Structure 1
Amino acid sequence: MSVINHAALIKACANGRQSALKELMEAEGGRMLGVALRMLRRQDLAEDAVQDSFVLLWRRAGQFDAARGSAKGWIYTILRNRCLTLLRNSDREISVDPQEQEVAGDDHVLDSAWNRLDAASDLRMCLELLEPERRSAILSCYILGYSHGELAGRMQAPLGSVKSWIRRGLQKLRECMG
């Protein structure tokens, strides 16, 4: 697993390197969609927010200043502000119960991410070796962007158990991938 240098990629975007934006999209797009879904509770609006955020990131990349904060924080601030703007400007009604919408949206995002993994990929094979609770906790954390506390509430499990599932699951993934 390679470490992504978000600041260097943002600087490359400021210099007009489109491949840097693509790398950022691949590295953070799934998690950004999860965060946007949590805020907006609608798949279509969340997708719009993520797309708009990447457009804004591209246009404003020259404004990023590493001395003022982390690159990843800057990216998610753009997303958060875009989501809040969509919420403020939205006059659309949500016709279903937000809890049902959120759970259905979460399942859809997780299923979509899972289906995008190549069946022969090492990551998928290693994830399949994990217990369902650990796999679900890890995917929800990394794809949907949930905190340990949020996962505990959603999974109706003690916080300590969820933390252990994630920690032990990640250890097994490291061993399997190594």
Structure 2
Amino acid sequence: MDPNQVFLQLLSATAQGDRQAFANLYQRSAGKLYAVSLQMLRRRDLAEEAVQEAFVRIWHNAGEYQQEKGEVLTWMISIVRYRALDMLRATKSRRETDVDELEEAIHHQTPEQELYEQRNRVRIDRCMDRLEDSQRSAIELAYFRGLTHMEVCARMELPLGTIKTWIRRGLERLKRCLES
């Protein structure tokens, strides 16, 4: 069965209050959502918090998902991404980010965690290299550097519609590559 169909069924059941479907949805997607969050926030504690808050929103807003606007996983990733962006902005305004803290957090990884993250980075890098330059640049700015779509527009000096199209098409190609 198509992975999006599975996610769609689980999300629909979640919208009806099915806790088992929500647990299954969590099990199937939490790793990917955490990877997106960690890539943006660069701190495990903040990444975990962003994912936890995103799943609370997913539980409460499952009925608001609109299939014609994109795939379920893409919708869920956007929830995590916006939460991570909010956290980045809050961190910048409070000046809580300390380079020493970040370095310490990175150095306390277990060998298994380092290997897992390294393998994921290699797979993502390999798939990112297959994207068109425009798509890759837009995705890197939005997802890896945490810029909003409007900030990406300003940086690339292109209209919002173009940026959104490049990101959407690039994410679709990236998803297909990572699933193969």
Q: TM-score, normalised by structure 1?
A: 0.58
How many pairs were matched up?
A: 128
- Aligned runs of 1:17-36 on 2, under 5 Å? 17-36=18-37
Q: Which residue of 1 aligns with 2:126?
A: 148
Q: Percent identity?
A: 28
Bigger fraction of residues in helix:
2
> Is it true that 1:96 corresponds to 2:74 in the alignment?
no
1:54-88 Cα distance to aligned partner (Å, 9 max, x none): 00000111100101111111010001001001111
Matches within 5 A, 1:24-173: 24-90=25-91, 91=94, 92-96=96-100, 100=103, 104=107, 108=110, 111=113, 137=119, 139-140=120-121, 146-148=124-126
Query: How far 1:13 sits from its partner (Å)?
Result: 0.9
Cα distance between partner residues in 1 of 2:111 and 2:89: 24
* Runs of 4 or more consecutive aligned structure 1 residues displaced over 3 Å after TM superposition: 1-4, 100-105, 107-110, 139-142
Whether the 8 Å contact between 1:141 and 1:148 is mirrored in structure 2 is yes
**Partners of 2:115 and 2:62 in 1: how far apart?**
28
**Contiguous gaps of at least 5 residues in structure 2:** 130-176
Segments of structure 1 that go 5 or more residues without pairing to the other structure are 115-135, 152-166, 172-178
Give me the CA root mean square deviation. 3.6
Q: Which structure would you say has the larger RCO, counting Cα contacts within 8 Å and 6 or more residues apart? A: 1
1:68 counterpart letter in structure 2: K
| Residues 103 and 44 of structure 1, relative CA distance in 2, 3 Å threshold | closer
In the superposition, relative to structure 1, how do residues 76 and 110 fare at CA in structure 2: closer, same or farther (>3 Å)? Answer: farther
